[in-house]
């Protein structure tokens, strides 16, 4: 290396962003470079080094070499150099669990070293405090966990070597670290957003008989269940047999969750007047089907300030033309709440029963969420049956008659099909409410018995603001004056699809004939792509549901599908 090149390389590495080229003459310092950045010469010149860089951002004008490889600033040489995929200067350049360490000599990412305490490369991946280098299936890699117990209570599930929050209740089966760092066995309950004042969504609820236990277990197909032993109900292995017993235990001990497994439970024979309760019938590893209830009369009755969540229950109302779920307050200071999620509500009313008009779900001065559920029948052939397939009189009826703005109603991502009279009846909701939203529902073949009421939707003529009805499919429902909608001027419509022969003329109603398979899922054909598939987008500031009735991600295509089902697309 000649004197000129050596001087330039030394200055680039020593002088930081003030790297200079000495182009001729004898070198002498009038003062230290670090304090004056001045260099004295007998003769010569000072020019900026065009190859110097202080950060990769300065290589922006040379982002790609001729072969397309990105360039970055070398950390010690301070020049722009090619940086192909897999290259590295330091461990932090390596982001793969199977290649977390930088081999500096080769500038290439390689696997961590098992058993080498000096290898800290796994710590920089952000997988968690317990991440370590272990050999899995013969491959050295950084993993956060090998089993659930390796994970903390806020992310209790070990999934592919990484800890995550629970998503389904079945995640919380077995022994793991439950909320608050307590180790528990067979919690069977994953805490959802908004469940608890403490938050803790994504953690598994703590069980057991202690004062902070959250859960009562009901399992009527477990031969050892007991409704008389006072110790039973607090552990999954020691359940009660009856839902009324489970509810009174939860109410009297201040527990939020009633975890239900089994079949053909009787109704909860007690009104829910106060407190906040969730009845969860989700599957377990040994019980692949959701829990079922059958009863005559009200299955659940929510009043006063009580709040009830029903999740993954298959319920049948055995009385003809009867109400199964009721939520009723006084609208002033007592507004109860009802949330129905991922459930099925079946009825026993056929078109042979005259004047069927009682609602399966009766909401009066209530705050309600009805989502991802089936109300009526679940098969197209049943909905189109002229006589025998049973369902309900009315699907949902809402009545708000007082001057309250505390109530709210969300009806979203549901299939409401085959009911004998009207699917959704809002005619009694005559007063202002906090929020009234009906969207992404498939409402089909209701009104199987001729009556003075339409089969699809009855709006309210007086409510202000108007109920918002958007992105629904109304098809095959009984018509009055050729319309599936009554009192349509009382609703605000956007992006709804109705039958092509409908006479309704309100803005926000598009006329097409969608085609369904036997489960009411949209077929992938030109007609459905023209009417319903990839046809809805949220307005500015609006959020759409992220999952459909089948718990599939929305959207699947470029936009959202209208109706309750999102067609799964490549």
Q: Where are the beta strands (DSSP E) in 479-559?
A: 485-486, 492-494, 496-498, 509-511
Question: 307-311 and 337-341 as β-strands: parallel, antiparallel, unpaired?
Answer: parallel
pLDDT at 31 over 60: no
Question: CA 511, CA 496: separation in Å to the nearest integer?
Answer: 9
* Mean pLDDT for the chain overall: 87
Question: CA 323, CA 299: separation in Å to the nearest integer?
Answer: 8
Confidence of residue 61 (pLDDT cuts 50, 70, 90): low
Answering whether pTM is above 0.85, one says no
DSSP code string of 329-360: --SSS---EEEEES-EEE--B-TTSTT---EE
Residue 519: both structure tokens together? 């489960």
Q: Where are the alpha helices (DSSP H) in 90-141?
A: none
Can you give the pLDDT at residue 64?
54
Name the more confident of 208 and 535. 535
Question: CA 222, CA 209: separation in Å to the nearest integer?
Answer: 19
Can you give the pLDDT at residue 7?
46
Can you give the pLDDT at residue 563?
97
Question: 307-311 and 276-280 as β-strands: parallel, antiparallel, unpaired?
Answer: parallel
Residue 356: both structure tokens together? 């069927």
Question: CA 323, CA 394: separation in Å to the nearest integer?
Answer: 9
Summarize pLDDT for 182-197 with one digit per residue, the tens: 999 999 999 999 999 9
Percentage of the chain beyond pLDDT 90 is: 64
Can you give the pLDDT at residue 33?
42
Can you give the pLDDT at residue 45?
61
Widest Cα–Cα separation across the chain: 114
Summarize pLDDT for 157-215 with one digit per residue, the tens: 999 888 999 999 999 999 999 998 999 999 999 999 999 998 999 999 999 887 779 99
Q: Name the residue ranges covered by the structural domains of the chain.
A: 3-52
Can you give the pLDDT at residue 60?
64
pLDDT at 32 over 60: no
Name the more confident of 5 and 113. 113
Summarize pLDDT for 408-450 with one digit per residue, the tens: 999 999 999 999 999 999 988 877 677 899 999 999 999 998 8
Tokens 């295509």 identify what position? 557
**What CA–CA distances, in Å, run from 236 to 186, 377, 439, 538?**
6, 33, 38, 43
Over range 366-374, report the average pLDDT. Answer: 96
| E strand or H helix at 380 | helix 380-383
Name the more confident of 274 and 400. 274
């Amino acid at each position: 290396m000649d004197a000129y090149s050596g001087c330039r390389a030394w200055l680039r590495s020593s002088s930081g962003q003030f790297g200079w080229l000495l182009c001729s003459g004898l070198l002498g310092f009038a003062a230290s470079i670090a304090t004056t950045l001045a260099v004295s010469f007998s003769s010569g010149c000072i020019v900026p080094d065009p190859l110097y860089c202080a950060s990769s951002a300065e290589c922006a004008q040379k982002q790609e070499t001729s072969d397309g490889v990105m360039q970055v600033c070398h950390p010690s040489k301070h020049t722009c150099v090619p940086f192909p995929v897999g290259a590295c200067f330091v461990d932090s350049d390596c982001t793969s669990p199977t290649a977390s360490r930088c081999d500096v000599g080769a500038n290439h990412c390689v696997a961590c070293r098992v058993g080498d305490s000096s290898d800290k490369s796994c710590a920089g991946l952000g997988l968690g405090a317990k991440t370590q280098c272990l050999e899995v299936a013969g491959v050295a890699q950084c993993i956060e966990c090998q089993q659930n117990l390796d994970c903390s209570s806020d992310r209790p599930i070990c999934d592919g070597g990484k800890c995550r929050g629970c998503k389904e209740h079945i995640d919380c089966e077995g022994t793991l670290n439950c909320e608050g760092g307590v180790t528990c066995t067979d919690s069977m309950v994953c805490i959802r957003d908004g469940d608890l004042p403490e938050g803790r969504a994504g953690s598994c609820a703590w069980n057991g008989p202690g004062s902070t236990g959250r859960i009562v277990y009901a399992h009527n197909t477990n031969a050892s269940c007991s409704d008389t032993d006072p110790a039973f109900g607090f552990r999954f292995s020691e359940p009660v047999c009856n839902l009324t017993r489970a509810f009174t235990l939860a109410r009297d001990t201040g527990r939020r969750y009633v975890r239900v497994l089994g079949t053909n439970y009787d109704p909860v024979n007690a009104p829910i007047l106060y407190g906040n309760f969730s009845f969860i019938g989700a599957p377990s590893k040994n019980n692949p089907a959701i829990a079922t209830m059958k009863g005559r009369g009200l299955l659940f009755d929510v009043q006063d300030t009580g709040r009830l969540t029903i999740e993954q229950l298959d319920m049948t109302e055995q009385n003809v033309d009867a109400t199964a779920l009721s939520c009723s307050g006084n609208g002033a200071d007592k507004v109860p709440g009802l949330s129905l999620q991922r459930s099925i509500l079946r009825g026993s009313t056929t078109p042979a029963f005259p004047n069927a008009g009682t609602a399966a779900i009766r909401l009066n001065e209530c705050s309600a969420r009805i989502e991802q559920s089936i109300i009526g029948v679940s098969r197209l052939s049943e909905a189109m049956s002229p006589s025998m397939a049973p369902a309900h009189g009315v699907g949902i009826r809402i009545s708000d008659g007082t001057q309250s703005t505390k109530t709210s109603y969300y009806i979203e991502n549901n299939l409401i099909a085959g009911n004998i009279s009207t699917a959704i009846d809002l005619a009694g909701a005559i007063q202002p409410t906090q929020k009234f939203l009906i969207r992404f529902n498939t409402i089909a073949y209701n009104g199987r018995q001729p009556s003075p009421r339409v089969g699809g939707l009855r709006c309210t003529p007086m409510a202000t603001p108007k109920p918002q009805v958007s992105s629904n499919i109304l098809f095959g429902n009984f018509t009055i004056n050729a319309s599936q909608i009554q009192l349509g001027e009382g609703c605000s419509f956007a992006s709804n699809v109705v039958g092509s022969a409908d006479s309704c003329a309100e803005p926000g109603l598009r006329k097409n004939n969608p085609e369904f398979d036997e489960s009411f899922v949209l077929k992938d054909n030109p007609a459905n792509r023209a009417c319903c598939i990839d046809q809805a987008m949220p307005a500015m500031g609006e959020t759409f549901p992220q999952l459909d009735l089948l718990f599939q991600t929305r959207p699947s295509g470029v936009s959202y599908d209208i109706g309750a089902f999102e067609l799964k697309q490549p």
